[in-house]
Structure 1
């Protein structure tokens, strides 16, 4: 089901309470009129052919984008501990849009592709409702990466030499300098032509990729599987706005959220199945 922002109180294609993009459904009454500012999380939701709610588009400058945790195609499972499977996009929108600055915790199912094959992982993401800030079209078009400087190492692998401020790798904290990347989305990079290896990190903004890395730790070398999201790199005023958002999130008072009744125990674990 295609969704579009509500017309009442709309502030443009990337602003206003429509940044959850629920639309005006007829299955439930409209929220009560209030003088408080209302906002969503900055993404558009639709249903797929399995009738699952999924992220159709992450809006640059919104909480979902700033989290570096949510990607196009992720399946929404719960909102503040309430399972939403079977609800319409309009119904779940009414759960999402709320007072600006109020935190919200959501559970997603994401795809993971590693050398061991495809699987799905469930993860929780906490955001603060906020209207997205507008970004220049020049910055949000074309391919993006993770914001890393790479160097070739023995065996045809790549080492992370530097993290760019405002890049996804730096903001998410997933990668660290010195990590050795061994595979991207399950593909062994040592078997690729040298010129193709760095290109594997590039893609459409707000798409997901899985990296296998070797990391040196005081306890020895560890092999890690990391889920990352390609995000629009932030610089200058946008990086300041990101810092303000992270500060708001750090100081948000999170109400107790009952754990969602997921199909397995322990969020963030592999639950099997081909993707």
Structure 2
């Protein structure tokens, strides 16, 4: 039996992150405990949750019940839009940590830019304080623009370790990835499989999958890994949890990557909200 392992990427702060993780967006709290344990059994050690997902407690129960040392895991959660602001973020962090049952968090993220709210710099300052205090190892953001990423650095001198944003072959975020690379910011993909069957039914992916004895989903995950993206596919189906993990065994060549890059639909490929104008609590 082949043993699969996630590659590790090094942040600009010197910490490392498993490049392939397991996401729990839209997973009910009682289900989260079960599927995170299944993910641990498959080999995942990187779990991505958020306050707004409503399943931090379930993730915490899975960590406690896994028998694994929390120091061998990489856990991410996020401050929600309604909790932005300096003091509000510190309080939200305490509540998240209580639900997770952890003393120290590996990665804390601002969930959305929320430009109309205008609290992202103060929120970022709270994350910096949490990192300085040792309660969080690394800090970053989700769903920001190039301009907002630059604003955080200009205002505080601290560059995010990672930027998590919608990224998949239909919407590869080339500009954001290029900017992130120029500032040493890791790029993380949410909805990496495009949230549906349309992408996974692409003939180009079927052809590459056949070539490698893989599935289309594994090919897409392998594409993210090849580009250097951190990727967090989500599934509550045990066989697919394992299937996604085993994508680490798929190595694409330059021709494969070029064919997947050609699926880019530009802004028409976007599924979620646009961070530049999003405004929701």
TM range (shorter): under 0.3
Point out the structure with max Rg over C-alpha: 1
What TM-score comes out, normalization by structure 1 length?
0.24
Bigger proportion of residues as strand: 1
Q: TM-score, normalised by structure 2?
A: 0.23
